[in-house]
């Protein structure tokens, strides 16, 4: 412990004391394993004062583990940490805080019913309650001005948007006096525009003398918004490079170890109309109208992409399409079945409608049940694995094994393994394996690449494309515009609960972006 905590000083600006030649934070030969799994293997990483340093890699490459070592959440098995050139022992988050290291995690550590001030006060107590409430409020507004944040301090944090909650988290570490700031996948949950604003704020932080470690798997933002890029793969550092000396394909090669470029796949073949959605109106359980006169149609053999900023009714649209939410007006026509508006979810599944929901662990899988149970549940309902009185576990296991192989679901040690143990990408592949096992005629996919790395999302996209090529009508609802542009044959833009514009592929990115944010 060489540095003294100085969190309440109003004048403490970022990195005032360090010599620019010495790295503000240096991790040397860090090794960390969990059981047999080696998460970090002799990793070196350093952060200089005033820089934004991206840490790039696939899910499970060890980026977050490395940063958790710096933040005191994981104890390294071997290796040393230096802060401003002096050896530092970080035994827990409080040691890290005393060394002015602050980390914003992917999952926010906020108490939702509390206001921003209360949340920040909780982590940074200073004397009596009433005075510290005032004091904290003052500190927050100073830090917020520094980075250009605008946050409502008196609303419960739970009522704020994800982007605002993230700002509260960042302000929390700044108020705590951090000048070494670690952001774990900060843009993963933000829209393009919000992400851009965050990256600008990060730049402001760095120019005020802080150093920022930006953990990400987005090539684009590390190329345009960082001073140095360190690429990790399989728990090792591949290389540290300067962004103006590399290209995106170079980085992709470093990340996955081989060249992996997804090309646009389009089809000119389109069959007859398979799904028609006409004038749907719907309201959420709390009465808020979310879908307003929404119409679109999808032909067989095409991917219809629905782009839009999150929270414009996408989740409700998925629920309406799957029969989980009944619309207050409008109807859904399915080729060969007629009007299916009033049918239940299980009936729609029998008609050949498959769904890949956005929240896979919440809606698509039962985490505590086995891989085999999760895969077979659809077939069990349709009586494929025996009558109600008998369950043919043998054929369930057999079909699961072949599906796991066919869809390349990795990390399945046995078909009795709990599905919660699968990583995001493999869980998604399992969902797809199940949903596609009945050869669906309509596929509804909501943000299918959310939280997935390059390789896994390429695999998921491949499955969607092959479903299309086999004649399914695919509805792809995604907040990731790149995903839409890559896959969709036609694009509808969703805004305030309705489709405000439609584009044929190849579409103009800027025109779509305009339609996404327009209309008030």
Partner 1 sequence: MEFLVNWLANIPGFALPFALGALGLIICEKSGVLNLGAEGFLLIGAMAGAGAVLTFGGYPLLALAMAALASALLSLVFAVLVILLRVNQVISGLTIVFLAQGLTSLIALKQGWTNKAFTGLSSLDLGPLSDIPFIGPIVFSQDLIVYLTVGLFFLAVHLMGRTNAGLRLRAVGENPDAADAAGINVTAYRFVAVLIGALLLGLAGGYLTVVVSKIWVDGLTGGRGWIAIALVIFARWRIWRALGGAVLFGCIEALIPRVAAIGVQVPQYFVLMTPYVVTFAVMVWTSLSSNTASDEPGALGRPFVREERH
Which residue, 136 or 441, has its beta carbon nearer to partner 1? 136
Question: Looking at beta carbons only, is 136 or 300 nearer to partner 1?
Answer: 136
* Residue of 207, 421, 439, 514 that binds partner 1 (CB under 8 A): 421
User: Nearer to partner 1 by C-beta: 127 or 383?
Assistant: 127
Question: Does the protein bind partner 1 through residue 150 (CB under 8 A)?
Answer: no
97 sits near partner 1 (criterion: CB under 8 A): yes
Token pair for residue 515? Answer: 């339609």
Single out the segment in contact with partner 1 by CB under 8 A; choices: 111-119, 379-387, 425-433, 457-465.
111-119
Q: Rounded CA gap, 449 and 455, in Å?
A: 10
CA distance 438 to 316: 25
| 471 sits near partner 1 (criterion: CB under 8 A) | no
Sorted by sequence, the CB contacts under 8 Å of residue 331 that are 6+ apart come out as 278, 279, 280, 339, 341
**Spatial separation of the C-alpha atoms in residues 19 and 389, rounded to whole Å:** 74
Q: Give how many residues touch partner 1 by CB under 8 A.
A: 24
User: Nearest approach, Cβ of 72 to partner 1 (angstroms)?
Assistant: 11
- Candidate segments 112-120, 220-228, 325-333, 401-409, binder of partner 1 by CB under 8 A: 112-120
Residue 321's closest CA among 356, 366, 270?
A: 356
Asked if 514 contacts 307 with a C-beta cutoff of 8 angstroms, the reply is no
Within 8 A by CB and 6+ apart from 134, the residues are none
Q: Could you give the 3-state DSSP secondary structure of residue 145?
A: helix
Instruction: Say if CB 359 and CB 447 are below 8 A apart.
Output: no
For residue 137, the minimal CB distance to partner 1 (Å) is 14
Nearer to partner 1, 97 or 252 (CB): 97
460 binds partner 1 (CB under 8 A): no
User: Does 130 sit near partner 1 (CB under 8 A)?
Assistant: yes
Binder of partner 1 out of 123, 231, 476, 501 (CB under 8 A): 123
Angle between helices 248-256 and 454-469 (to 10 degrees): 100
Among 122, 369, 377, 500, the residue binding partner 1 under the rule CB under 8 A is 122
279 φ/ψ angles, rounded to the nearest 5 degrees? 55, 45
Nearest to 85 by CA among 26, 16, 45: 26
Among 27, 67, 116, 121, binds partner 1 (CB under 8 A): 121
- Give min distance, CB of 75 to partner 1, in A: 12
Does the footprint of partner 1 cover residue 125 (CB under 8 A)? yes
Q: Does 134 bind partner 1 (CB under 8 A)?
A: no
Residues 205-264 that bind partner 1 (CB under 8 A): none
215: closest CA among 205, 234, 230, 200? 230
3-state helix, strand, coil in the chain (%, to 5): 35, 25, 40
Nearer to partner 1, 128 or 504 (CB): 128
Judged by CB under 8 A, which of 114, 141, 289, 369 binds partner 1?
A: 114
How does DSSP classify residue 286?
T
Binding residues (CB under 8 A) for partner 1: these are 34, 39, 93-94, 97, 105, 108-114, 118-119, 121-123, 125, 128-130, 132, 421
């Amino acid at each position: 412990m060489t540095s003294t905590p100085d969190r309440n000083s109003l004048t403490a600006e970022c990195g005032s004391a360090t010599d620019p030649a010495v790295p503000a934070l240096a991790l040397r030969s860090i090794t960390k394993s969990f059981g047999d799994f080696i998460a970090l293997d002799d990793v070196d990483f350093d952060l200089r004062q005033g820089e934004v340093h991206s840490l790039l890699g696939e899910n499970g490459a060890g980026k977050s583990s490395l940063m958790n070592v710096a933040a005191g959440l994981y104890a390294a098995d071997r290796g040393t940490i230096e802060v401003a050139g002096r050896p530092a022992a970080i035994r827990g988050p409080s040691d890290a805080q005393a060394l002015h290291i602050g980390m914003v995690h992917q999952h926010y550590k906020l108490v939702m019913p509390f206001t921003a001030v209360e949340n920040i006060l909780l982590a940074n107590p200073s004397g009596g309650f009433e005075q510290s409430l005032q004091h904290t409020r003052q500190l927050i507004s100073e830090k917020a001005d520094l980075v250009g944040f605008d946050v409502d301090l008196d609303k419960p944090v739970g009522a704020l948007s994800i982007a605002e909650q993230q700002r509260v988290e960042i302000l929390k570490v700044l108020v705590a006096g951090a000048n070494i700031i670690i952001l774990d996948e900060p843009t993963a949950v933000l829209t393009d525009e919000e992400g851009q604003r965050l990256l600008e704020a990060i730049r402001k932080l760095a120019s005020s003398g802080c150093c920022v470690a930006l953990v990400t798997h987005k090539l684009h933002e590390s190329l345009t918004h960082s001073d140095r890029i360190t690429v990790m793969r399989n728990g090792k550092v591949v290389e540290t490079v300067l962004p103006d000396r590399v290209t995106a394909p170079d980085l992709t090669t470093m990340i996955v170890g081989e060249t992996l470029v997804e090309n646009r796949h389009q089809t000119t073949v389109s069959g007859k109309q398979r799904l028609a959605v006409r004038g749907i109106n719907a309201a959420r359980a709390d009465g808020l109208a979310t879908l307003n006169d929404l119409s679109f149609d999808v032909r067989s053999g095409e991917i219809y992409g629905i782009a839009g900023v999150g929270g414009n009714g996408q989740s409700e649209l998925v629920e309406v399409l799957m029969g989980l939410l009944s619309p207050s007006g409008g109807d859904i026509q399915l080729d060969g079945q007629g009007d299916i508006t009033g049918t239940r979810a299980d009936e729609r599944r029998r008609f050949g409608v498959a769904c890949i929901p956005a929240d896979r662990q919440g809606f698509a899988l039962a985490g505590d049940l086995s891989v085999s149970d999760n895969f077979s549940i659809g077939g069990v309902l349709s009586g494929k694995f025996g009558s109600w009185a008998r369950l043919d576990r043998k054929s369930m296991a057999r079909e699961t094994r072949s599906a796991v192989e066919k869809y390349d679901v990795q990390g399945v040690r046995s078909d009795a393994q709990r599905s919660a143990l699968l990583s995001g990408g493999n869980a998604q592949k399992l969902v797809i394996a199940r949903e596609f096992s009945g050869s669906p005629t309509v596929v509804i996919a909501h943000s299918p690449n959310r939280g997935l790395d390059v390789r896994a999302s390429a695999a998921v996209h491949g499955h969607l494309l092959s479903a299309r090529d086999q004649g399914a009508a695919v509805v792809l609802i995604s907040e990731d515009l790149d995903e839409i542009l890559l896959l969709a044959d036609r694009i509808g833009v969703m805004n305030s609960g309705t489709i405000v514009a439609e584009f044929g592929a190849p579409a103009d990115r800027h025109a779509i972006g305009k339609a996404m944010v327009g209309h008030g």
